[in-house]
Structures are given as structure tokens and as C-alpha cells.
A and B are shown apart, each in its own frame.
Chain A
């Protein structure tokens, strides 16, 4: 931080903020976006127990995760308004089949706790 303002000043005068966004020649672009972390537990309305094998996804942006044995999930997605989250059974016959459920996160936050109850088919 000690010389941070000097580099920003000189960098700004010479080529603008592009100087601070770089990539190694054999690397990837830098990531400058913000994410929202959505996490929670999926349980059955019938038993109250956690449900594994549920695909939790953000259909509009592609990110997804499958719940584990404890029904928990933890998913990053874009930090934007109105994120639709979908819960869908992917291992229909392992621990019973569940109805698909969609829900909406209207206001983005850095971290969102979202516990969901799914009904058996």
C-alpha cells in the first residue's frame, strides 16, 4: 500500500486503468467480477430429513451443484438482481423422487442463506 498511490498516478497518466488489468502470457484473463454465494440445505417436507442428489442451479447463468449426503449445497453465481434458483431431483429413485422447485433471490447480497423444502412426487 505504501507506494500504491504513486503507481496508480503514473499508471493513470501513461495508459489508464488497463495497466492494472493484465494476464500472464500463458495464463488466463484476470477476473474482476463480483459473485454472490448462495448456500443452504435441501430437506424433504415429508420427513424433514436432508435430501441428497438435488441439482441446485442458476439456469440463466449456468452454475450448478449437487447436494451431498447432508443435503447441503454452496454455489457461486453472478452478483445481479433477480437470480432464479432451481432445485431439481437428479437421482429420482435413490431416496425417493421430489418435485422441482424454483425460487427467486430478488436482492443480491455477497452471501445468501437459502434453505429449501422439497415435496415428494
Chain B
């Protein structure tokens, strides 16, 4: 009875959030250059990016269109690898000057003590670093024999900071699946407080490597593992908000699934395109900062994100879970968009 009421209240909350569509979280794809060539990269990033880094002034002009920014609006610098930008501290200071917060997603390779200090000094408030396994499986995914050493040093630095809201993310795949308990121990020993687990969707380079995708049995095993690890304590473990997981919803996350792409999450992509999360099919761009007023686009466009009834197609058409799932994470709609790329609920249901 109470569960049903909470479920209903959450649906109302989701509707209210969608109508309100406050911009709380803004990705800035500030570079698509990268110092690694990871096997699973959804953006196909490389050392010789086709795009130059977006000039800070161009991004700030878009940021300055935002009227009455939300109190906790966070600008998330992503890439590519943001640490390749020489003006990162300046970027952060300018964002902070505007009363906004900023954070960064990094592979950690260039995150040393000096960079840690200068970024904190520039107002860095939150940070996410990827660790994708124990040494050999992490280095395999990252395509670099030096990656594990560098990343664990960066993680230790960030974890020791009382200021940073810091977490580690792991892309779970067939190679590192059995290592999860040891990865957890490694992170606890490094002082990490929060660990977020993902799976890899078949886009970008990842679509050609079958080992990167969990079998249905492994996916269900992942849900079981997260549920159990959340009970154990020592580190806060959670499943990312990448998809709806039906019976595991209350066991693997703090709150039920809600894909906030285009509802509370926007982005400015490397070519100026205005969209939601950077891993969403680029054809969903709603405008471009070089042509449009960013905030006007945020307020007046984004209809496919706020009204997801169009996703009732393909296998979602007759699905009884649609009222809670709403077509799964938005980034699961790619290409011709006639069907969802990955249905997490189906993966669980397939393996009874």
C-alpha cells in the first residue's frame, strides 16, 4: 500500500519536474581531444579531434543568456579529456564568478597534486574519475599500460579532499564483472566514499566489441551485487541512472529512475549544438549557441525530451512498465530511433 502510494507520488513528482524544467545541470563538451583511446568511448574521441576546443568566451556568452540561474546550477566540464585544456582554471573561475558551480569528468591521467590544488583554487566543487577494473582489465579498456597507476594516484588525491563531492565510476563489462568485489576493496583502501556503476551501451567504438556488453545473466548479477554492496556499507555503491531496472529500483539507487535529460539537464556540445547529455544522439540537438539564444532554446524547445510519448514504439509500444520507465534513458535512442537500444528491464526479465 505504502509502496504503491510512493510510486504514485513519484509519478506526480516526475510530471511536476518536467513541467517546471529548471536547468540544474549543464554539460559543457569543452574539448573532444583525448589523451587516451578507450575501447568503449561513445564519443569516438581521439588525440586528433576534428574539432578545435570551444573558446571560453563562446561558452560564456551562452551561459550569460541564462536568466535567474537555479541556485545549485552546476556546469559539468566533459570531453574528450577536459584536463588537456590549458585554460581550465580560468574556465572554472569565470563560471564561479557568475554564481554557478562547476565540476569535471576526467580519466585522471593529468590529475596530479599541482592540478588538484589549482582546480580547487578555481572553485572545482565536484569530480568524477573512471576506474574500470583491476590493473589489467582497466588498462585493457583504457588501451594504455600506464593508466591504472596514474588513475589510482589521482583517485587517492581527490578522495582525500574534504571539499570535493567526489565519486568513482566503473563501466562494468564482461572482463571486469568478476572483479567487482576487489575493485570495491581497492576503492575503500583509497578512501573513496561513493562508487557508481554503469553498463556500456553499444554506441561509438563500443558497438564493435561484444565483450563490453553484459549478458542478461551478468546484468542481473550486477543488480544483485549492487543491492548486496549497499547493505554492506564502507562505501556508497549505486547503479547509475542509465536505465529503468524494475524490481531492483529501490535496491540499487537512492531514488527511482528518472531520466532528467532535457528536463533538468542541458548541454553545449563541441560544435555549439544545444542538447541534453553528450551521449545522446546528436540529431536531437535543439539549437546552436552560434545561431540561437541558449536560454530561449532551453525554455522553448526540448519537446522530445519533455514529452516522451513518442518513445511508445518498438518494444516499448505495448510494455506495461512504460508508465515508470518512460522509454528508458534518453541515450538509448539512436539511429532511426524506431526502438530502444537497450532495455534494462528486459535484460532482468529474460533471466529468471
Residues of A with Cβ closer than 8 Å to B? Answer: 3-4, 6-7, 10-11, 13-15, 18-19, 22-33, 35, 37, 56-57, 61-66, 74-78
Contact = CB atoms under 8 A, between A and B. Distances in A.
A33 B240 CA distance: 22
Contacts of A30: 24-25, 72, 74, 101, 103, 126, 165
B264 interface: yes
A106 B74 CA distance: 29
Given A22-B260, A35-B125, A65-B121, A27 B105 contact: yes
Most A CB contacts (10 A, CB to CB) among B102, B125, B254, B279 go to B125
Contact of B27 (A6, A27, A62): A27
Interface of B: 6, 9-10, 12-13, 16-17, 19-20, 24-25, 27, 72, 74, 76, 78, 89, 93, 96, 101-105, 114, 116-118, 120-123, 125-128, 160-163, 165-167, 194, 196, 198, 240-242, 254-256, 258, 260-261, 264-265, 277-279, 329, 331
Contacts of B89: 65
13 contacts: A10-B16, A15-B254, A15-B255, A24-B25, A26-B78, A26-B198, A27-B265, A30-B24, A30-B74, A35-B125, A57-B117, A62-B117, A62-B163
Given A6-B16, A76-B96, A31 B165 contact: yes
Contacts of A25: 198, 240-242, 277, 329, 331
B14 to A, nearest CB: 9
A77 B96 CA distance: 12
Contacts of A57: 117, 121
Which are the 8 A-B pairs with shortest beta-carbon distances?
Answer: A31-B125, A64-B117, A63-B120, A14-B9, A28-B103, A76-B123, A63-B121, A7-B16
Most A CB contacts (10 A, CB to CB) among B17, B120, B255 go to B120
Given A3-B16, A7-B20, A62-B120, A28 B127 contact: yes
B93 A63 contact: no
A76 B121 contact: yes
B120 A24 contact: no
A32 B72 contact: yes
A64 B254 CA distance: 35
Contacts of A22: 24-25, 241, 255, 258, 260, 264
B255 A77 contact: no
Nearest to A15: B255
A4 B20 contact: yes
Contacts of B254: 15, 18
A15 B240 CA distance: 18
A33 B242 contact: no
A62 B20 contact: no
A31 B93 contact: no
B128 A27 contact: yes
B255 A24 contact: no
Contact of A62 (B125, B127, B161, B279): B161
B20 A28 contact: no
Nearest to B166: A29
Contact of B116 (A19, A23, A27, A62): A62
Contact of A64 (B9, B102, B121): B121
A14 B25 contact: no
A62 B165 CA distance: 14
A27 B78 CA distance: 8
B105 A19 contact: no
Contact of A19 (B13, B20, B25, B118): B13
A13 B331 CA distance: 29
B163 A61 contact: yes
Nearest to A22: B260
B165 A33 contact: yes
B120 A61 contact: yes
A59 B122 CA distance: 15
Given A27-B277, A30-B126, A57-B121, 10 more contacts: A15-B6, A22-B24, A24-B25, A24-B241, A28-B126, A29-B126, A30-B165, A61-B163, A64-B114, A65-B122
